[in-house]
Amino acid sequence: MTPPDRPASAESCHAGLSRLLEPKSIALIGASPDTAKLPGRPLAYLRRYGFSGAIYPVNPRYREIDGLTCHASVADLPEGIDLALILLGASGVCEALEQCGQRGIPFAISIAGGFAEAGDHVSQARLAEICDRYSIQLVGPNCLGLMNPRSGLTATFSSVLREAMPRPGSVVLLTQSGALGNAMLQSFLTHDIGVHAWVSTGNEVSIGVLDLLEHAIEDEAAGLVLLFVEALRDGARLLPLARRALARGKPVVMLRTGLSQMGRTASVSHTGKLAGAPAVWRDVIRQAGVIEAHSLDDLVDHAQLHECGALLLSHAATQAERVARVRAAGAIGVVSASGGQGVMIADSATAAGLSLPAFAESVQRELRAMLPPQMPVTNPVDTALFADGLALERCCRAVMADPSIGTLLLTVSSFANDYAAMIDWLCDLGRSARDQGRLLALTYLSSSDRMPVEMRHRLQQAGVLEMPTQQRIVAVLGCRRAWWARVLAAQETPEDLPRVKAAGLSREASREDRDRSLEVRPDSSLGDPRSPGGAQGDAAGFMQRASVPLVPERLCQTLDEAIAAAASLGFPLVLKVASPDIAHKTEAGGVALDITDEASLGRAWRGMVETVSARAPDARIQGYVLQPQMRGGGELIVGCSLDAELGRVLMVGAGGIWAELIEDVVFIGLPATRDEIREALSRLKVMAVLRGARGGPALDIEATLALIDRLGKQFVAETWVAEVDINPLLVRPRGQGVVALDSLVVARD
């Protein structure tokens, strides 16, 4: 998939996408009667899988195909057709798409490769122009098409459909890669996962994955959205869309590739240099509540968990019950035939944010009655080879009866267990757990030792989560439990749930504050970038409008001026070079600290002039700036930049000379809520300093949050700004506020 040749429209989701995914009629342009060839597959699939709408083959070489009248041209088609599948090579696509526009067909799919991904940007731009002129929505080109099992829609040549079509379900699969989408469909068949819709978007001339994501969020029949993404068009839409999905309790799982190939942007600021695409992506999707997948297996695992239908918040009527359900979802009871594997599970669970609580005394007594006296009855419980089929079932039922356990994780082995004898009681226990909003999960001592596929399908239908390794089960449960907690945070109200506080941050904003923090408006607190004092390109005005506290300073042209200014400012002082060509003053020798008297000021001035002249001989020097040296507090870097994909982002991290050395930073997509900023800050290592590590004073975290919030809003409001860099931002003791010791504002080209 390659990025499109034109920017996305400001309009995102079209109500008519339902007509694309559930058409009542489809035209197959270039259809063939030869099912061995690619243009012949879609018609054969539509007939085989019982497409409920009308089918219109188009090919001047045939009068009929498979009993259907074959039209000589698009112009011969009847009016009112919903979708055209263009089965022609690249050379014929533009003409066919134009004919579709003239016939009034609103949606089209082009499967042909050979456009921008092959270097032909001119032809792809022509497709975009045709779409604009006729208001056609195009899927592709260079894609595999789409599929909707409920209606038998197979507008695709996917080879998987030669075997079977996935059954109807509630999982939406959106893949920019056709081949990997095909592979995912194969996995769905293997694991009997139901599909609501699958779309391969290809080059995304018109319709992209975010348009389809927005549609899926609004679609009541869609329960889980899986995305495979290579590059996002108009990626700034991801954050608000993900927020909407979170508020609706609809999980979105995304596998993103190509991050290692995306270099850091050319930038003059610390912020821009630190804004490597992988770091920005990781933090923003976490902020958004998108579940990050790291492999195709991860996507399949989330789909399998979804199919089990267990641990759902819908089982709980009140907020308190939902909180209890989420807490239980992270509590695992382990029954294993290996003590060593039990320890491995405990390690994996801890890393995934899950817990193994002690069993209730009644459960321990029941386990003690079934196991030899030398076997401990703690969690995890090791049955070794001492439990026969009946005893193992009783052990599992005892653990599942423990009210503190949300998931029972059972490991089995064909050396110790008779799978055929176990399947009935496993399914019964799985259904019972699902009815209670809990989960039975099953894995193996060896990943190569699995139940036959027919048994695995029975287990899934009964709500049992079966996977080849305990690591995969624990990982998917950890991800989903964290997501459920985010859902609660998005849906909770102050009356029924105290807000969960990020460690070390003293106060959470109210719901009203959080909602208001999403608004961007040029009011009196932010300043108006159109006002006389806010002319575009006015860096100082930007900082003033964002209410950034700045340290007093004097610009001096001579040492005598500096000595006079020092008498007014008072020692100790900091001396800095002032130059539009020197962004990093320290590297050029343009910063001197701890100036305590006139003599040290003279030495610093003369040394700086000489050093800057040697290291930056071509720089324009506007003079030298004197500032009072501020003492006491911690240093942060705070900045804003433009990410090539995700748009405007804000960065916070350890500042001063450490900014680019330790890279203790987090990124926040904009606009952001105060809560999102607070949560991001809680992940910084430098927060220990702000909280008062090792007996140090607690610093003014609330003033820091307020400053970051204002800066982010102003950066969104003033689109002429490309980068903002405050380094360092001095965070003073609690109640004394913050002050920017150095700052940089870079205008867009």
pLDDT in tens, 333-377: 999 988 888 899 999 999 999 999 999 999 999 998 888 887 889
Q: Is the dihedral of CA 637, 641, 643, 644 positive or negative?
A: negative
Does some domain include residue 60? yes
Does some domain include residue 274? no
Does some domain include residue 503? no
The answer, yes or no, to whether residue 25 has pLDDT greater than 50, is yes
pLDDT at residue 492, as a whole number: 58
**Claim to verify: residue 110 and residue 199 sit in the same structural domain:** yes
Which of 628, 650, 682 marks a domain boundary? 628
For β-strands 634-643 and 647-654, DSSP reports them as antiparallel
pLDDT in tens, 611-655: 999 999 999 999 999 999 988 889 999 999 998 889 999 999 998
For 335-370, b/e burial (b = at least 16 CB within 10 A) is: bbbbeebbebbbebbeebebbbeebbeebbebbeeb
Which of 569, 601, 628 marks a domain boundary? 628
If one counts the domains in the chain, the total is 4
For 240-270, b/e burial (b = at least 16 CB within 10 A) is: ebbbbbbeebbbbbbbbeeeeebeebebbbb
Does some domain include residue 328? yes
**Claim to verify: residue 397 and residue 430 sit in the same structural domain:** yes
**Claim to verify: residue 441 and residue 331 sit in the same structural domain:** yes
CA–CA distance, 121 with 113 (Å, rounded to integer): 12
Does some domain include residue 256? no
Dihedral Cα 485, 489, 495, 498, nearest 10 deg: 70
- H helices within 517-597, ranges in order? 539-545, 559-569
Dihedral Cα 13, 18, 20, 26, nearest 10 deg: -160
The answer, yes or no, to whether residue 442 has pLDDT greater than 70, is yes
**Claim to verify: residue 591 and residue 656 sit in the same structural domain:** no
Does some domain include residue 512? no
CA–CA distance, 24 with 94 (Å, rounded to integer): 24
**Claim to verify: residue 594 and residue 640 sit in the same structural domain:** no
**Claim to verify: residue 566 and residue 692 sit in the same structural domain:** no
Q: At what angle do helices 339-351 and 470-491 cross, to 10 degrees?
A: 30
For β-strands 464-466 and 439-444, DSSP reports them as parallel
- Kindly tell me the burial class for residue 551, based on how many C-beta atoms sit within 10 Å of its own C-beta (0-12, 13-18, 19 or more): middle
Does some domain include residue 207? yes
**Claim to verify: residue 225 and residue 116 sit in the same structural domain:** yes
The boundaries of the domain holding residue 191 are 17-233
Residue with tokens 């991904």: 117
**Claim to verify: residue 104 and residue 27 sit in the same structural domain:** yes
Q: CATH number of the domain that 584 lies in?
A: 3.30.1490.20
**Claim to verify: residue 327 and residue 196 sit in the same structural domain:** no
Q: CATH number of the domain that 414 lies in?
A: 3.40.50.261
Which whole number is the average pLDDT over 158-173? 96
pLDDT at residue 660, as a whole number: 62
Residue 260: pLDDT band with limits 50, 70, 90: low
- Kindly tell me the burial class for residue 332, based on how many C-beta atoms sit within 10 Å of its own C-beta (0-12, 13-18, 19 or more): buried
**Claim to verify: residue 619 and residue 559 sit in the same structural domain:** yes
pLDDT in tens, 199-239: 999 999 999 999 999 999 999 999 999 999 998 888 999 99
pLDDT at residue 645, as a whole number: 86
Which of 628, 653, 681 marks a domain boundary? 628
**Could you give the percent of the chain with pLDDT greater than 70?**
86
The answer, yes or no, to whether residue 73 has pLDDT greater than 90, is yes
Does some domain include residue 499? no
**Claim to verify: residue 449 and residue 563 sit in the same structural domain:** no
Q: CATH number of the domain that 218 lies in?
A: 3.40.50.720
pLDDT at residue 532, as a whole number: 34
Specify the 3-state DSSP secondary structure of 635. Answer: strand
The answer, yes or no, to whether residue 397 has pLDDT greater than 60, is yes
Specify the 3-state DSSP secondary structure of 258. Answer: coil
**Claim to verify: residue 662 and residue 696 sit in the same structural domain:** yes
